[in-house]
Chain A
Amino acid sequence: MNVDNTQSQMRKGVLEFCILSIIRNGEVYPSEISDKMKLAGLNILEGTLYPLLTRLKNASLLNYRWEESLSGPPRKYFSLTDEGEVFYQELATTWNQLSTAVNNIINANEPEL
């Protein structure tokens, strides 16, 4: 059992949820997403971010439009579709349940340590 794998599996599940919720707060372009996540303390490689965005977009959870940028090539600005919103709501419910449950378990375990 490799700890790296387990860690990355744990991260993987929440990454999509985090990305969707950042996008839900307003149109963003990819490197902005990774900056925001980093700021929040969750590092994501851009090499991981791009494939995720494309897959979410191909699952029609996301939309994007091109916008010219001053510093480089035009950027893709992503936004949530209606389907994406439904998807997000479901993930949010699951997350709330999960985080409460996990916290309860961790806190319950603590005294015994």
Chain B
Amino acid sequence: MNKVINISLAGRLLPIDEEAYSQLTNYLNWLKQYFGKEKGGMEIYSDMEDRIAELFHDKLKKDNISISANDVQSVIKIMGSPEQIVMETSDEYIMAEEAGTTAQQQTGNGPAEAITNLTSPSGKRFVRNTNDKLLGGVCSGAASYLNLDVTVVRIVFLLFTLFYGSSILLYLLLWIALPQYAIPTTQLKRRLYRDLDGKLLGGVCKGLSSYVNVSVNWVRLFFVFPLMGIIFFNIINEDDLASFCAAMFPTLIILYIVLWAILPKASTLTEKMELRGEKIDVQNLSAALKTENSNTAVKPRQDNIATILLKIIAYGILFFVLGIFAIVLLSILAGLLGLLFGFSTAGAVVMPFADIIFEQSWQPVVLYISATLAVLIPIIFIVRWLVHIARKPQRTNKWVGYSLGIGFLVSVFMMFYIITDVLSDIKREYSVTESIPMAQPTDTLLIEPMTDSVVTGGLGQFSFVRETVKGGYEFEVMSVNVVASPDSMYHLNLIRKSNGRDIRTAQRYAAALPFTFRQDSNTVRFPRYLSLGGTKVFRGQLLTAEIQVPKGKAFRMGAIPKSFSQQWHLKTGGGYTINIKQHPRWSPNTVYKVEENGSIVSVP
């Protein structure tokens, strides 16, 4: 039984069965190809198409429900088979036949114009082929010039992009330099296709074997050889060769999958002949047409045991590789999802600090959105792609892909823009030392933190910042250091430090810090938390109280917090770093002594 399909021929609807359809397409393709070569050829072709449609129409009017293969054959009888048409229409055919050179003649036997200089070896030009192009037709033109398969040239181009994109530059230069020209498709070169007749998996091996004209099994052996090599060389203890095979194996598998993906399948008769490098002329075509038709007639496929075994092995390897691939893909997906989740939690934590990190209130919002998109879009891409391969659908809307791609680029750009903007805010560092008058203590100096009146704690786990009841934030940026005094007096120096976009801003930030300290005869008290004194953002502002104690004197650290002995340091040079510098680690409730040589030691 044959399925009947409706096609439109010369603008009229035509019910036709499948076998007849494939014969008709082959015939029409041949006519188009044959007459397409001459001037006004398309007119001849469309006249003939009209006529064929008319003949079919008459048939349908008579008795037929649909057009059958017999009807097609009888129409071909009226119009003429490819051989007959060539015999009667071409002068060259006869001349070539007389000279006995048909087989060798490369240009085919087109009527009138066979003198396109692209095939004649002398006049071959390097052009961009607009007839078969992906981008600018450079690869296609090069393939025609070098007499190679386009796909091979494209793969080589792709490989060379790995060398710092060198081929991209070359491509652009050639795109600009080469003239464009539509190389007629009839001047066909051998082309690599996947051959689905007698395929095991994707028809890649079969296609390659037809292309290079060796038995399929040799090509299959080539692909499976490393696997056998691993086993064999391990048995005979040739470790080097075994590991070479182990390296080759995945490479070949990947090569197979890549070829499967990029090679078109040879579906039409012409494509199959291109694959085998047969000259597409009448004899070959009609011969192929006959075998093709008889092939389609007897279709039941019988696999022998060897083929079935090979198939099982091939599918086994394929599923194994695809499985690994799927695992890798899924872990990427999981990683991205984790990142997204991390963002949302980090967002909840970081958001309270947005005020003190960003100068503009829109910045954190944009940053958050763009960071989320930068992670979300790849997830969408992967999912879409998975759905795509799972369903094998018609082409999905490419504009969705484009806009997602652009959205991704924009969000990554925005993310980096904002981060860079914020980081450039700590580009310059300013520090100034001012001396603060201090009364000379009469006994051992005691250093204490001020008793704290503010009750609220730090924000979350960051005890470094806290919110005050008056509103605003206070920072744990006060540190205390003790050094040996150059003379026999006690001195107090205050070092104000801040980063900023420029030195002036940094100076302003540093100067704004409000400093208070209290001295109570022998006890000095420093605040633990400081407000930024009218500055909204935190840019590494820091106060260090440096107490100079005369040599030979002792001093005592009271119930000091950890923060008194540490110092933040923000730095944006080659890389952005935030580190904490330690002063000599002061322990609370400890007595220290300044030695004569200026070093400070703790006294038990």
Q: Which residues of A contact B (CB under 8 A)?
A: 1-2, 4-5, 8-9, 11-12, 30-31, 45-48, 50-55, 58, 69, 71-73, 76
Contact = CB atoms under 8 A, between A and B. Distances in A.
Interface of B: 10-12, 31, 35, 38-40, 43-44, 47-48, 50-51, 53-54, 57-58, 61, 78-80, 84-85, 87-89, 94, 97-98, 111
A2 B95 CA distance: 11
Contact of A8 (B31, B47, B53, B88): B88
A47 B40 contact: no
Contact of B98 (A5, A31, A72): A5
Given A55-B40, A71-B57, A72-B57, A4 B87 contact: yes
B40 A58 contact: yes
A9 B94 contact: yes
Q: Which of A12, A50, A52, A55 has the most CB of B within 10 A?
A: A50
Nearest to B111: A51
B98 to A, nearest CB: 7
A72 B58 contact: yes
B80 A54 contact: no
A76 B44 CA distance: 12
A100 to B, nearest CB: 27
Contacts of A73: 10-12, 50, 53-54
Given A45-B85, A55-B40, A58-B39, 17 more contacts: A5-B94, A9-B94, A31-B54, A45-B79, A45-B80, A46-B51, A46-B78, A47-B84, A47-B85, A48-B80, A48-B85, A50-B51, A53-B47, A54-B43, A72-B53, A72-B54, A73-B50
Contacts of B97: 2, 5
A53 B50 CA distance: 15
Q: Which residue among A5, A12, A45, A69 has the maximum number of chain B CB atoms within 10 Å of its CB?
A: A45
7 closest residue pairs by CB, A with B: A47-B80, A45-B80, A72-B54, A48-B88, A47-B79, A47-B85, A54-B44
A54 B57 contact: no
Nearest to A69: B54
Classify the secondary structure of B's interface with A. helix
B79 A46 contact: yes
Contacts, number: 78
B58 A71 contact: yes
Contacts of B61: 71
Contacts of A2: 97-98
A54 B79 CA distance: 15
A50 B58 contact: no
B80 A46 contact: yes
A4 B84 CA distance: 10
Contacts of A53: 47
21 contacts: A1-B98, A5-B87, A5-B98, A8-B87, A45-B79, A45-B80, A46-B51, A46-B79, A47-B31, A47-B84, A48-B84, A48-B88, A48-B89, A51-B89, A54-B47, A58-B39, A71-B58, A71-B61, A72-B50, A72-B53, A72-B57
Contacts of B53: 72-73
Contacts of A69: 54
Nearest to B38: A51
A97 to B, nearest CB: 23
A55 B58 CA distance: 28
A45 to B, nearest CB: 3
Contacts of B39: 58
A36 to B, nearest CB: 15
B87 A54 contact: no
Nearest to B83: A4
A51 B44 contact: yes
Contact of B84 (A45, A55, A71): A45
A47 B57 contact: no
A76 B88 contact: no
Nearest to A58: B40
B11 A50 contact: no
Most buried by B among A2, A12, A46, A76: A46
Contacts of A8: 87-88, 94
Contact of B47 (A9, A11, A30, A48): A30
B78 A45 contact: yes
A71 B80 CA distance: 22
Given A2-B97, A8-B87, A45-B80, A50 B40 contact: no
B541 to A, nearest CB: 87
Nearest to B98: A5
B88 A50 contact: no
Nearest to A11: B88
Nearest to B45: A50
B74 to A, nearest CB: 12
A71 B43 CA distance: 21
A72 to B, nearest CB: 4
A73 B97 CA distance: 38
Contacts of A50: 44, 47-48, 51
A1 B111 CA distance: 21
A4 B57 CA distance: 33
Contacts of B89: 47-48, 51-52
Contacts of A48: 80, 84-85, 88-89
Contact of A45 (B10, B31, B88): B88
Residue among B10, B39, B43, B111 with the most chain A CB within 10 A? Answer: B43
A102 B24 CA distance: 43
A44 B94 CA distance: 18
A51 B90 CA distance: 10
Contacts of B31: 47
